[in-house]
Structure 1
Amino acid sequence: MAGKINSRREITVGIAIALGLIIGIFIKRVHIGLLLGLGIGIIAAGLVRNRK
């Protein structure tokens, strides 16, 4: 069961990173793109961290 949760977490992190890249490419204002990328990165890091 733990392996299934870890694989789902890895897939979610990959989707979050891809979403951040896509948003960053299509946003013309650099500051807004950086803030969104930072926010998505923080969310992805929270998903990767193991919780006990």
Structure 2
Amino acid sequence: CVFLPNNGTYFISYIVIATFISSPLELLRLPQLAEYIYRRIRAKTKLEKQQIIKK
């Protein structure tokens, strides 16, 4: 038997955990945040900083 009765809870748990972990991580947008911080640090003039903020 491929589909055992106890396997259903495993897959449901996996889907629920994957949903609650991946959604907040996607909302954080870590690569964009890292790029923003890097560009803010590298900006030298006020004009460059204003252009970064507008993006």
Same fold per TM (> 0.5)? no
TM-score class, shorter-chain normalisation, is: 0.3 to 0.5
Instruction: Say which one has the larger Rg.
Output: 2
Q: TM-score, normalised by structure 2?
A: 0.43
Question: TM-score, normalised on structure 1?
Answer: 0.44
More helix by share: 1
